[in-house]
Amino acid sequence: MTGDAPRSAGEEPEHPAVDEPGPPGVSLRPIALVLLAIAVLVGLDVAADLTDGVPLEHVALEGLTVLLASVGLVRVLARMREERSQLSGEVGRLRAESVSWRTNAARWQREAEAATRGFVAAVEAEFSRWGLSDAEREVALLLLKGVSLKEIAEARGTAERTVRQQAAAVYAKAGVSGRSELASYFLDALPSSSSSSRASS
């Protein structure tokens, strides 16, 4: 009888963690130093006892202490080497994942930049086809970005009424009724091959 609490039916037995040397966060280095100190100090005491004619029973007990400390030290050092090897492998894996992530991120950024340049070029082509003025182009781009008429007027240093008139001119030349249809034109119509001309002269 070990005093363990009975398990309910169907419950999986708990298995102790074989690879865990102790509580998480406990460093093995101090343990190794303590075992080394015990082995060295008691070993020196054994050597002194042998020269002083101390009874063999006492020397044997101290010798056993040195032996146990030495065995423990060897096991702790082996565990430290194992942990160092595992850590090195984990670091290598993380580095490989980091390189892969950076490679994929760089590729995605290149593709996104290329797609953005293509989209901007398509938008500019439509603006040219609609015959927008430079001011109307700027207003149209800001409208597509969701900037309010008031914010556009402040950014361009013009009256809000002027921006409203320019926006109305953009809508008229594009053949749309407002901002939502203007945005829908580029988001829905341009990617498809069946987009038709909405521009009015």
SS3 string, 123-183, reads: HHHHHHHHCCCHHHHHHHHHHHCCCCHHHHHHHHCCCHHHHHHHHHHHHHHHCCCCHHHHH
pLDDT of residue 193: 39
Query: What one-character-per-residue DSSP string does 42-92 give?
Result: HHHHHHHHHHHT--HHHHHHHHHHHHHHHHHHHHHHHHHHHHHHHHHHHHH
pLDDT of residue 63: 82
Residue matched to tokens 């001309």: 197
pLDDT of residue 17: 43
Domain boundary assignment for the chain: 28-105, 131-189
Fold of 131-189: Arc Repressor Mutant, subunit A (1.10.10)
Closest CA to 39 of 85, 75, 78: 75
Per-residue pLDDT of the chain (201 residues; tens, 9 = 90+): 444 445 544 454 454 444 444 445 567 888 888 888 888 888 787 788 777 777 877 778 888 888 888 888 888 888 888 888 888 888 888 888 888 888 888 888 888 888 778 888 888 898 999 999 999 999 999 998 899 999 999 999 999 999 999 999 999 999 999 999 988 888 775 444 344 444 443
d(CA 7, CA 10): 8
pLDDT of residue 186: 83
d(CA 192, CA 63): 87
CA 178 to chain centre: 42
d(CA 64, CA 50): 14
Mapped onto helix, strand or coil, the DSSP state of residue 38 is: helix
